[in-house]
Amino acid sequence: MPPGPSGARPECVVIKIGTSSLISAQRPDSAKLDALADAVVRLRADGLRPVLVASGAIALGSARLGLTGPQPDSTRQLAAAVGQGLLFDAFRRAFEERGLLAAQILLTPPDLIGPEHQGGTRAVLEGALDADLVPVVNENDAVMVRNNDVLAALVAALLGAGRLVLLTDVPGLYESDPRQDATARRIPEVRAMTPAVERLAGVTAHGLGTGGMAAKLCAVWIATTAGVAAVIAGADTEDGAVRAVRGDDIGTLVHPRRPAKQPDVGLLWRALSAPPSGRLVCRPEALAVIEDGGPLLGRHFHSRTGSFASGAVVDLVAPGPRPDGAEVVARGRVSVGSAALATAGEELTVLHHTAYISFLEV
């Protein structure tokens, strides 16, 4: 689907599918792959340009190498190196049967956020779509094991996608644990991501992959803060990918935020790609600094909760009467760990302005 005469491109949508939704009995599930390929055909017929982000390389490689049980990252990297080709070959065959050509694109977050790579990555993704190919993106776990949920959100943000769909074995967010509560109600719509919504990750199931619901909500934070609507839906739902893109009432739709200033993809990754491991309670004067986007120093905080290392993600909260620290006003990565923070000088930079997202403006 090359650009039309005006140069305008059809809307891009990013669909991420997890390991347990692609792999059965330690091999690609042909029925699930066929269903996904059929969904891509239908979305293209709707005038959309799907980009797939697929997990499963480590699982396939581990099976081929005879690995069982938990493995160190170095072994998982080798498994990914073996499994990446196996996974893409399954996609290649499924799309060829439908007259489509798939293009494998292996990425890591630096390829999407670093200024030296970002332009080239965007160009190859858009070039693949313009050439009528189906991009199949995978985290390059042979380099470093991370997770494909966050990668999918970064791809959606970089391309300015119309929607991010996270297909998983959990059919959305619920008000209580559906494994324990037969009357648990699905949450069909969320107006905006908040820490309260995020806490629902503690009552949902986890799949076979490395992500889990906490990683999916990190992805939702990134996508929606970049202005991309996100849907978490069950991969086994009939026509789930197509219905989620079309806006049917399946899974949980999270609406995008509309910040006054569009954050760059690198900032989104630094601030939102991991769940928070602690909290810093701000002094009143810190709120003005956060609103202006300035660096936050030791003197801007009067207490902390949690134990975290340098480089960890933390929440910044406004002082308040509640013991949990009251309102979350920002989130980002600290340059000082919790142990060192206790003895840090007042002028030591705790968070650089390029490492946190303010929630005050949205």
Question: Residue 346 maps to which CATH number?
Answer: 2.30.130.10
Cβ pair 244, 280 in contact under 8 A: no
- What's the N-to-C CA distance of the chain in angstroms? 36
Look at residue 53 and give its three-state secondary structure: strand
- Residue 222 sits in the same domain as residue 297: no
| Cβ count near 226 (within 10 Å) | 26
Please tell me the predicted confidence (pLDDT) of residue 206: 36
Cβ pair 107, 137 in contact under 8 A: yes
| Cβ count near 237 (within 10 Å) | 16
Please tell me the predicted confidence (pLDDT) of residue 302: 87
Please tell me the predicted confidence (pLDDT) of residue 198: 84
- Residue 259 sits in the same domain as residue 310: no
- Residue 217 sits in the same domain as residue 283: no
Please tell me the predicted confidence (pLDDT) of residue 361: 63
Total structural domains in the chain?
2
Cβ pair 157, 149 in contact under 8 A: no
CATH of the domain at 236: 3.40.1160.10
- Residue 232 sits in the same domain as residue 284: no
What is the torsional sign of CA 97, 130, 42, 89? Answer: positive
- Residue 180 sits in the same domain as residue 70: yes
94 located within any domain: yes
Please tell me the predicted confidence (pLDDT) of residue 4: 40
Taking the C-alpha atoms of residue 147 and residue 166, their distance in angstroms, rounded to an integer, is 13
Residues (pLDDT < 70) of the chain are 1-10, 201-211, 259-260, 320-326, 344, 361-362
| pTM across the whole model | 0.91
Range of the domain at 144: 12-265
- Residue 305 sits in the same domain as residue 345: yes
Which amino acid, 324?
A: D
Element spanning 328, H or E? strand 328-333
6 located within any domain: no
228 φ, ψ to 5°?
-105, 125
271 located within any domain: no
Taking the C-alpha atoms of residue 252 and residue 236, their distance in angstroms, rounded to an integer, is 15
Q: Per-residue pLDDT tens for 293-339?
A: 899 999 999 888 889 999 999 999 997 655 444 689 999 999 999 98
Please tell me the predicted confidence (pLDDT) of residue 9: 57
| Cβ count near 214 (within 10 Å) | 17
Q: Per-residue pLDDT tens for 220-231?
A: 999 999 999 999
